[in-house]
Amino acid sequence: MRIAVVTGASSGIGREFALQIPRLYRNLDELWVMARRTEYLEELKKNVSIPVRIFDGDMQRDYIFERLEKELDRQEAKIRMLVNAAGYGKVGVFSDIDPKEQLGMITLNCHALTKISQICLPYLSNGSRIVNIASSAAFTPQPGFAVYAASKSYVYSFSQALRRELLSKGIFVTVVCPGPVDTEFFRRCGKLPNPFKDSVKAAPKCVVRKALEDSVKKKRVSVYGPAMKCARAVTKIVPDALTVDLLGRLNQIGRSLDEK
Protein backbone atom coordinates (compact mmCIF):
# COMPACT_ATOMS: atom_id res chain seq x y z
CA MET A 1 0.00 0.00 0.00
CA ARG A 2 1.46 3.38 -1.07
CA ILE A 3 0.84 6.06 1.49
CA ALA A 4 1.78 9.55 2.71
CA VAL A 5 2.02 10.28 6.43
CA VAL A 6 1.30 13.79 7.75
CA THR A 7 1.60 14.80 11.40
CA GLY A 8 -0.14 17.92 12.70
CA ALA A 9 -2.79 17.45 10.00
CA SER A 10 -5.73 18.81 12.00
CA SER A 11 -4.93 22.47 11.27
CA GLY A 12 -2.67 25.02 9.61
CA ILE A 13 0.36 23.89 7.65
CA GLY A 14 -0.11 20.14 8.27
CA ARG A 15 -3.76 20.28 7.15
CA GLU A 16 -2.70 22.08 3.98
CA PHE A 17 -0.13 19.34 3.22
CA ALA A 18 -2.87 16.74 3.71
CA LEU A 19 -5.05 18.57 1.18
CA GLN A 20 -2.32 19.19 -1.42
CA ILE A 21 -0.37 15.89 -1.34
CA PRO A 22 -3.06 13.70 -3.00
CA ARG A 23 -3.24 16.24 -5.86
CA LEU A 24 0.52 15.95 -6.37
CA TYR A 25 0.97 12.20 -5.83
CA ARG A 26 -1.75 10.69 -7.98
CA ASN A 27 -0.86 7.06 -7.21
CA LEU A 28 -1.29 7.07 -3.42
CA ASP A 29 -3.61 4.47 -1.92
CA GLU A 30 -4.11 6.19 1.43
CA LEU A 31 -3.23 9.27 3.43
CA TRP A 32 -2.36 8.68 7.09
CA VAL A 33 -2.86 11.67 9.36
CA MET A 34 -1.94 12.34 12.97
CA ALA A 35 -3.04 14.93 15.58
CA ARG A 36 -5.08 15.06 18.80
CA ARG A 37 -8.35 16.60 17.61
CA THR A 38 -10.30 13.70 16.08
CA GLU A 39 -13.20 15.86 14.89
CA TYR A 40 -10.84 18.08 12.86
CA LEU A 41 -9.26 15.01 11.26
CA GLU A 42 -12.75 13.61 10.46
CA GLU A 43 -13.61 16.94 8.84
CA LEU A 44 -10.37 16.84 6.83
CA LYS A 45 -11.27 13.33 5.62
CA LYS A 46 -14.34 14.75 3.84
CA ASN A 47 -12.12 17.09 1.79
CA VAL A 48 -9.48 14.59 0.67
CA SER A 49 -9.97 12.61 -2.53
CA ILE A 50 -8.28 9.39 -1.31
CA PRO A 51 -9.00 7.22 1.78
CA VAL A 52 -7.70 8.80 5.00
CA ARG A 53 -6.57 6.75 8.00
CA ILE A 54 -6.75 8.67 11.26
CA PHE A 55 -4.20 8.33 14.07
CA ASP A 56 -5.71 10.53 16.74
CA GLY A 57 -3.63 10.97 19.82
CA ASP A 58 -1.06 12.91 21.74
CA MET A 59 2.39 12.81 20.17
CA GLN A 60 3.87 13.75 23.54
CA ARG A 61 2.98 10.20 24.63
CA ASP A 62 4.12 6.83 23.33
CA TYR A 63 0.88 4.93 22.51
CA ILE A 64 0.36 6.85 19.25
CA PHE A 65 3.76 5.74 17.92
CA GLU A 66 3.02 2.10 18.80
CA ARG A 67 -0.26 2.33 16.85
CA LEU A 68 1.52 3.76 13.81
CA GLU A 69 4.30 1.16 13.96
CA LYS A 70 1.83 -1.76 14.12
CA GLU A 71 -0.25 -0.40 11.25
CA LEU A 72 2.77 0.23 9.00
CA ASP A 73 3.82 -3.37 9.55
CA ARG A 74 0.31 -4.83 9.12
CA GLN A 75 -0.34 -2.94 5.87
CA GLU A 76 3.20 -3.53 4.48
CA ALA A 77 3.16 0.20 3.81
CA LYS A 78 5.37 1.99 1.31
CA ILE A 79 5.71 5.58 2.47
CA ARG A 80 6.12 7.90 -0.51
CA MET A 81 6.05 11.06 1.61
CA LEU A 82 6.43 11.79 5.32
CA VAL A 83 5.58 15.29 6.55
CA ASN A 84 6.48 16.22 10.12
CA ALA A 85 4.36 19.31 10.77
CA ALA A 86 3.12 18.82 14.36
CA GLY A 87 4.67 21.44 16.59
CA TYR A 88 4.08 24.48 18.73
CA GLY A 89 5.84 27.45 20.30
CA LYS A 90 5.47 29.57 23.42
CA VAL A 91 6.64 33.18 23.38
CA GLY A 92 8.13 34.76 26.49
CA VAL A 93 11.16 35.11 28.70
CA PHE A 94 12.43 31.64 29.66
CA SER A 95 11.83 32.09 33.39
CA ASP A 96 8.21 33.21 32.77
CA ILE A 97 7.12 30.19 30.72
CA ASP A 98 5.51 27.21 32.44
CA PRO A 99 8.27 24.55 32.74
CA LYS A 100 5.82 21.94 31.37
CA GLU A 101 5.47 23.99 28.20
CA GLN A 102 9.26 24.45 27.89
CA LEU A 103 9.71 20.69 27.88
CA GLY A 104 6.51 20.14 25.89
CA MET A 105 7.98 22.08 22.96
CA ILE A 106 11.11 19.92 23.02
CA THR A 107 9.04 16.72 23.32
CA LEU A 108 6.81 17.54 20.35
CA ASN A 109 9.11 19.56 18.08
CA CYS A 110 12.23 17.39 18.55
CA HIS A 111 11.52 14.06 20.29
CA ALA A 112 8.28 13.20 18.44
CA LEU A 113 9.71 14.26 15.06
CA THR A 114 12.77 12.06 15.63
CA LYS A 115 10.62 9.15 16.83
CA ILE A 116 8.34 9.34 13.76
CA SER A 117 11.41 9.46 11.50
CA GLN A 118 12.84 6.32 13.19
CA ILE A 119 9.56 4.45 12.84
CA CYS A 120 8.94 5.46 9.22
CA LEU A 121 12.47 5.03 7.88
CA PRO A 122 12.23 1.27 7.15
CA TYR A 123 9.11 1.97 5.04
CA LEU A 124 10.73 4.67 2.88
CA SER A 125 12.49 3.73 -0.35
CA ASN A 126 14.01 5.11 -3.54
CA GLY A 127 12.12 8.30 -4.53
CA SER A 128 10.44 8.78 -1.15
CA ARG A 129 10.44 12.22 0.43
CA ILE A 130 10.66 13.53 3.99
CA VAL A 131 9.49 17.10 4.61
CA ASN A 132 10.26 18.48 8.07
CA ILE A 133 8.76 21.76 9.21
CA ALA A 134 11.33 23.85 11.06
CA SER A 135 10.96 27.65 11.09
CA SER A 136 12.87 30.81 10.25
CA ALA A 137 13.36 30.85 14.05
CA ALA A 138 15.93 28.09 13.38
CA PHE A 139 18.33 30.54 11.73
CA THR A 140 19.56 32.25 14.90
CA PRO A 141 19.08 32.01 18.69
CA GLN A 142 16.06 34.09 19.75
CA PRO A 143 15.71 35.73 23.17
CA GLY A 144 12.00 35.77 23.99
CA PHE A 145 11.49 32.57 21.98
CA ALA A 146 14.53 30.68 23.28
CA VAL A 147 13.30 27.08 23.59
CA TYR A 148 11.16 27.21 20.44
CA ALA A 149 13.98 28.64 18.30
CA ALA A 150 16.43 26.08 19.71
CA SER A 151 13.97 23.24 19.04
CA LYS A 152 13.62 24.40 15.43
CA SER A 153 17.43 24.68 15.07
CA TYR A 154 17.44 20.99 16.01
CA VAL A 155 14.96 20.23 13.21
CA TYR A 156 17.01 22.33 10.75
CA SER A 157 20.29 20.61 11.65
CA PHE A 158 18.89 17.08 11.97
CA SER A 159 17.05 17.28 8.64
CA GLN A 160 20.12 18.37 6.68
CA ALA A 161 22.33 15.69 8.20
CA LEU A 162 19.68 13.02 7.65
CA ARG A 163 19.33 14.18 4.06
CA ARG A 164 23.02 13.52 3.44
CA GLU A 165 22.81 10.08 5.03
CA LEU A 166 19.79 9.08 2.93
CA LEU A 167 20.96 10.43 -0.45
CA SER A 168 22.50 7.09 -1.43
CA LYS A 169 19.11 5.41 -0.88
CA GLY A 170 17.37 7.94 -3.15
CA ILE A 171 15.35 9.34 -0.22
CA PHE A 172 15.23 13.15 -0.20
CA VAL A 173 14.79 15.30 2.89
CA THR A 174 13.67 18.92 2.64
CA VAL A 175 13.51 21.19 5.67
CA VAL A 176 10.91 23.97 5.49
CA CYS A 177 11.63 27.25 7.28
CA PRO A 178 8.56 29.49 7.20
CA GLY A 179 8.34 32.95 8.71
CA PRO A 180 4.97 33.89 10.23
CA VAL A 181 2.11 31.86 8.68
CA ASP A 182 -1.57 32.53 9.27
CA THR A 183 -2.54 29.50 11.41
CA GLU A 184 -3.68 28.54 14.91
CA PHE A 185 -0.01 28.66 15.96
CA PHE A 186 -0.55 32.26 17.10
CA ARG A 187 -3.50 31.29 19.33
CA ARG A 188 -1.28 28.95 21.33
CA CYS A 189 2.02 30.85 21.32
CA GLY A 190 0.96 33.67 23.66
CA LYS A 191 1.36 37.41 23.41
CA LEU A 192 3.94 38.53 20.84
CA PRO A 193 6.28 41.38 21.81
CA ASN A 194 5.01 44.70 20.43
CA PRO A 195 7.33 45.19 17.41
CA PHE A 196 6.38 41.73 16.07
CA LYS A 197 2.64 41.96 16.76
CA ASP A 198 1.48 42.99 13.33
CA SER A 199 3.99 41.01 11.31
CA VAL A 200 2.68 40.05 7.88
CA LYS A 201 1.59 36.41 7.79
CA ALA A 202 1.86 34.16 4.74
CA ALA A 203 -1.04 31.94 3.68
CA PRO A 204 -0.47 28.25 4.56
CA LYS A 205 -1.56 27.29 1.03
CA CYS A 206 1.34 29.24 -0.53
CA VAL A 207 3.96 28.05 1.97
CA VAL A 208 2.93 24.41 1.42
CA ARG A 209 2.77 24.72 -2.36
CA LYS A 210 6.33 26.06 -2.37
CA ALA A 211 7.47 23.35 0.07
CA LEU A 212 6.04 20.59 -2.13
CA GLU A 213 7.62 22.12 -5.25
CA ASP A 214 10.96 22.29 -3.44
CA SER A 215 10.59 18.69 -2.25
CA VAL A 216 9.93 17.53 -5.83
CA LYS A 217 13.03 19.47 -6.92
CA LYS A 218 14.97 17.66 -4.13
CA LYS A 219 15.90 20.95 -2.50
CA ARG A 220 17.65 20.88 0.88
CA VAL A 221 15.89 23.91 2.38
CA SER A 222 12.55 25.52 1.47
CA VAL A 223 12.06 29.17 2.36
CA TYR A 224 8.92 31.01 1.26
CA GLY A 225 8.95 34.69 0.33
CA PRO A 226 11.61 37.40 -0.11
CA ALA A 227 11.49 38.55 3.54
CA MET A 228 12.44 35.14 4.94
CA LYS A 229 15.01 34.54 2.18
CA CYS A 230 16.57 37.84 3.20
CA ALA A 231 16.45 36.86 6.92
CA ARG A 232 18.24 33.60 6.09
CA ALA A 233 20.91 35.41 4.07
CA VAL A 234 21.48 37.97 6.84
CA THR A 235 21.84 35.32 9.55
CA LYS A 236 24.45 33.55 7.41
CA ILE A 237 26.58 36.69 7.27
CA VAL A 238 25.94 38.47 10.58
CA PRO A 239 27.38 36.76 13.69
CA ASP A 240 24.85 35.27 16.14
CA ALA A 241 26.10 37.63 18.90
CA LEU A 242 24.82 40.61 16.90
CA THR A 243 21.45 39.16 15.85
CA VAL A 244 20.80 37.92 19.40
CA ASP A 245 21.62 41.35 20.80
CA LEU A 246 19.37 43.07 18.23
CA LEU A 247 16.46 40.72 18.99
CA GLY A 248 16.99 41.25 22.73
CA ARG A 249 16.85 45.03 22.25
CA LEU A 250 13.68 44.78 20.13
CA ASN A 251 12.05 42.72 22.90
CA GLN A 252 13.00 45.38 25.46
CA ILE A 253 11.47 48.11 23.27
CA GLY A 254 8.36 45.92 22.87
CA ARG A 255 8.00 45.43 26.61
CA SER A 256 8.34 49.15 27.35
CA LEU A 257 5.76 49.99 24.64
CA ASP A 258 3.40 47.39 26.17
CA GLU A 259 3.82 48.97 29.61
CA LYS A 260 2.87 52.45 28.34
Angle between helices 38-46 and 12-24 (to 10 degrees): 30
Q: Which of 92, 143, 144, 180 binds ligand NAP (CB under 6 A)?
A: 180
Name the residue nearer to ligand NAP (CB basis): 33 or 171.
33
* Of 7-15, 74-82, 167-175, 239-247: span binding ligand NAP (CB under 6 A): 7-15
Residue 154: name the closest of 111, 120, 195 by CA: 111
Based on the shown chain and the rule CB under 6 A, indicate whether residue 185 belongs to the binding site for ligand NAP.
yes
Instruction: Establish if 114 lies at the interface with ligand NAP (CB under 6 A).
Output: no
Size of the site for ligand NAP (CB under 6 A): 29
CA atoms within 13 A on the CB side of 110: 18
Task: Give me the residues paired with residue 34 across strands.
Answer: 7, 55
The secondary structure element, H or E, covering residue 3 is strand 2-7
For residue 11, the minimal CB distance to ligand NAP (Å) is: 4
The H-assigned helical ranges of the chain are 12-24, 38-46, 63-74, 99-106, 113-120, 146-166, 185-188, 204-216, 226-237, 240-259
One-letter amino acid of 137? A
| Residue among 14, 92, 193, 254 that touches ligand NAP (CB under 6 A) | 14
Q: Kindly write out the interface string for residues 190-229 of this chain, putting x where it contacts ligand NAP by CB under 6 A and - elsewhere.
A: ----------------------------------------
Residues making contact with ligand NAP (CB under 6 A): 8-14, 35-37, 40, 58-60, 85-89, 108, 133, 135, 178, 180-181, 183-185, 188
